[in-house]
């Protein structure tokens, strides 16, 4: 997607100067750890100057005016699919959820303004996250919402923004970064494929998201994706504040199965999973309670995508993304895959029912965690998109479980 031969490091004029693993070094096992060691006192106190006519700003997302500017930049210029049919529409509730997570600081909401017009023309952000890679856990900056106004593309502004979020992190003693992207950069630690499950097939078809398969009829598709009115898992209910401790413990045990995962504190779990009561709902989380014990947990969030037609936006798709989940119900031992498969299918089917009730149009999931156990059975179809996971200043052996876990899918 980047239009470059992924093997040719020389083509990455910026990335070849950064502490990231290079292509061509994939083979064999490497010792995992930071690529470059530095000291806070060696880090520049001031940002790199911008070209004439532009200046750095920190945005105040608690301020409605600043939030509106960030929203409008992203709404008009953030990620689109290859055919420019859809573009993410991160509403302020989602932006607050994503960028004001525990430990957030305003200085990580970095903008660039045109000096004369005062217009916000570029942005990058980060929140802190404790990430475990196999048996080592380290603090890192999770970088997101890198965006440059369409009229300023190709002018090497992105590297300047990336260096600035790196500098701010370094001054806080944070030396590692975590980020995902649809494009290939040096060098993914893991790669996942997107899967989609129609909830409202008629709307997905009308906007060009879901083609009518050869030989099929619209009514067959509608019937194929029909869902029950009510959930079926006994003891399933919305997650509440009193569940936070139990959910963190359950999730920590479950995520231990995987080579890379965030480590949630209770405060973080409260933020990421409990629905806020004001504004539009962003996150949905459910638990199964059995005799007073939380045995299962799942969550999904919603991000809208604008439907673009002839450069105009008239409607949005409401897209659910499967978020974290964990289960121990009915498992005689944690690696009991047959029991796990049955349970996850029941839970994810309930998640689909709940997402449909919430009037979401499509449910997305990635080829990660144990998703291979239910994607097929729950009628998810493989999409065109891939998501590459990257670590900055950390050498790690490749993490499978994504697209390369074919036996699961
Ligand atoms: S991925 C979404 C990124 N945003 C979009 O796709 C929005 C639409 N596109 C744009 O706004 C989620 C522009 O096209 C952007 C590039 C701004 C993407 N990640 O300024 P130039 C995230 O937000 C490299 C990293 O001329 P442009 C995660 C590209 O390879 N690098 O391009 C963000 C080239 O370098 P090369 C990317 O089109 C993670 C250089 O930028 C990239 O005007 C950031 C060209 O720059 C991407 N998505 O603007 C890294 N896209 O070496 C964080 C392009 O090939 C690292 N490039 O010559 C960690 C930092 C924290 C460390 C803490 C210690």
> What is 267-286 written as a DSSP string?
HHHHHHHSPPSSSS--EEEE
pLDDT value at residue 6: 59
| CA distance to 2, 44, 45, 129, 380, per residue, from 302 (Å) | 27, 39, 38, 21, 17
Give the model's confidence band at 335: pLDDT under 50 very low, under 70 low, under 90 confident, else very high: confident
Residues with Cβ within 8 Å of 256's Cβ and at least 6 positions away in sequence, in order, are none
Distance CA 259, CA 237 (A): 30
- Atom 49 of ligand 1, nearest CA residue: 158
Give the closest residue to 133 by CA, choosing from 392, 406, 409, 407.
Answer: 392
> Does residue 404 carry a pLDDT above 60?
no
Residue 161 in contact with ligand 1 by CB distance below 6 A: no
- Atom 32 of ligand 1, nearest CA residue: 154
Strand partners, 366: 194
Distance CA 260, CA 381 (A): 25
Q: Which of 98, 152, 181 to mutate to test the pocket of ligand 1 (most atoms within 8 A of CB)?
A: 181
Residue 157 in contact with ligand 1 by CB distance below 6 A: yes
Distance CA 170, CA 42 (A): 10
Counting atoms of ligand 1 from 1, which one is nearest the CA of 152? 43
Q: How far is the CA of 370 from the centre of ligand 1 (A)?
A: 30
Helix or strand run (H / E) with residue 206? helix 201-206
How does pLDDT run across 26-56, given as a tens digit for each residue?
777 899 999 999 999 999 999 999 999 999 9
Counting atoms of ligand 1 from 1, which one is nearest the CA of 149? 11
pLDDT value at residue 123: 98
pLDDT value at residue 406: 47
Backbone phi, then psi, for 259, in 5-degree steps? -75, -25
- Atom 19 of ligand 1, nearest CA residue: 181
Residue 392 in contact with ligand 1 by CB distance below 6 A: yes
Give the closest residue to 300 by CA, choosing from 279, 287, 281, 283.
Answer: 283
Q: How many residues does the chain have?
A: 409
How does pLDDT run across 152-188, given as a tens digit for each residue?
999 999 999 999 999 999 999 999 999 999 999 999 9
Residues with Cβ within 8 Å of 98's Cβ and at least 6 positions away in sequence, in order, are 90, 127, 144, 145
Cis peptide before 187 (omega within 30 of 0): yes
Q: Are 355 and 199 in contact (CB under 8 A)?
A: yes
Q: Are 277 and 348 in contact (CB under 8 A)?
A: no
Residue 98 in contact with ligand 1 by CB distance below 6 A: no
Q: DSSP state, 331?
A: -
Residue 79 in contact with ligand 1 by CB distance below 6 A: yes
Give the closest residue to 299 by CA, choosing from 382, 372, 365, 377.
Answer: 365
Residue 13 in contact with ligand 1 by CB distance below 6 A: yes
pTM above 0.80, yes or no: yes
What number of other Cβ atoms are within 10 A of residue 308's Cβ? 19
Residue 165 in contact with ligand 1 by CB distance below 6 A: yes
Distance CA 343, CA 349 (A): 10
Counting atoms of ligand 1 from 1, which one is nearest the CA of 147? 11
Residues with Cβ within 8 Å of 118's Cβ and at least 6 positions away in sequence, in order, are none
Q: How far is the CA of 11 from the centre of ligand 1 (A)?
A: 15
- The torsion defined by the Cα of 236, 238, 244 and 249, in degrees rounded to 10, comes to 30
Residue 156 in contact with ligand 1 by CB distance below 6 A: yes
Task: Tell me what the mean pLDDT of segment 303-328 comes to.
Answer: 94
Residue 125 three-state SS: strand
What number of other Cβ atoms are within 10 A of residue 307's Cβ? 20
Q: Are 120 and 73 in contact (CB under 8 A)?
A: yes
Helices (H), 37-138: 64-77, 92-99
- Atom 47 of ligand 1, nearest CA residue: 181
Q: How far is the CA of 252 from the centre of ligand 1 (A)?
A: 32
Task: Tell me what the mean pLDDT of segment 220-242 comes to.
Answer: 98
Q: How would you classify residue 325: left for phi > 0, otherwise alpha for psi between -120 and 50, otherwise beta?
A: beta
Instruction: Name the CA radius of gyration of the chain, rounded.
Output: 22
How does pLDDT run across 91-104, given as a tens digit for each residue?
999 999 999 999 99
Q: How far is the CA of 34 from the centre of ligand 1 (A)?
A: 22
Counting atoms of ligand 1 from 1, which one is nearest the CA of 144? 23
> Does residue 405 carry a pLDDT above 60?
no
How does pLDDT run across 252-268, given as a tens digit for each residue?
999 999 999 999 999 99
């Amino acid at each position: 997607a980047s239009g470059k031969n992924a093997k040719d490091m020389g083509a990455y004029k910026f990335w070849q100067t950064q502490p990231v693993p290079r292509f061509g070094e994939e083979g064999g096992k490497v010792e995992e750890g930071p690529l470059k060691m530095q000291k806070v006192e060696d880090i520049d106190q001031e940002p790199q100057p911008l070209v004439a006519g532009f200046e750095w700003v920190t945005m105040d997302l608690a301020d409605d005016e600043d939030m509106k500017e960030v929203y409008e930049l992203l709404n008009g210029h953030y990620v689109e699919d290859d055919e420019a049919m859809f573009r993410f529409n991160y509403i302020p509730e989602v932006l607050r959820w994503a960028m004001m997570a525990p430990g957030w600081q305003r200085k990580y909401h970095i903008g660039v303004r045109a000096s004369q017009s005062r217009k916000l023309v570029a942005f990058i952000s980060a929140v802190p996250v404790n990430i475990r890679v196999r048996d080592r856990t380290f603090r890192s900056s999770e970088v997101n919402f890198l965006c440059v106004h369409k009229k300023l593309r190709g002018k090497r502004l992105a590297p300047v923004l990336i260096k600035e979020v790196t500098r701010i992190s370094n001054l806080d003693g944070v030396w590692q970064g975590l980020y995902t992207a649809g494009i290939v950069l040096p060098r993914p630690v893991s790669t996942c494929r997107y899967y989609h499950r129609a909830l409202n097939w008629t709307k997905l078809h009308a906007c060009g998201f879901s083609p009518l398969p050869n030989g099929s009829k619209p009514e067959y598709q509608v019937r194929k994706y029909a869902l029950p009115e009510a959930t079926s898992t006994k003891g399933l209910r919305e997650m509440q504040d009193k569940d936070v401790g139990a959910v963190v413990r359950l999730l920590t045990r479950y995520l231990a199965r995987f080579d890379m995962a965030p480590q949630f504190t209770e405060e973080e779990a409260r933020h990421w999973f409990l629905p806020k009561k004001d504004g539009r709902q962003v996150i949905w989380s459910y638990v199964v309670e059995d005799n007073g014990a939380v045995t299962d947990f799942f969550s999904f969030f919603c991000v809208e995508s604008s439907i673009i037609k002839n450069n105009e936006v008239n409607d949005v798709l409401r897209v659910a993304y499967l978020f974290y989940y964990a289960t121990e119900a009915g498992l005689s031992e944690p690696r009991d895959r047959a029991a796990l498969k049955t349970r996850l299918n029941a839970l994810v089917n309930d998640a689909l029912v709940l997402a449909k009730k919430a009037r979401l149009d499509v449910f997305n999931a990635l080829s990660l965690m144990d998703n291979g156990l239910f994607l097929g059975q729950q009628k998810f179809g493989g999409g065109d998109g891939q998501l590459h996971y990257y670590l900055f200043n950390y050498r790690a052996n490749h993490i499978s479980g994504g697209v390369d876990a074919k036996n699961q899918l």
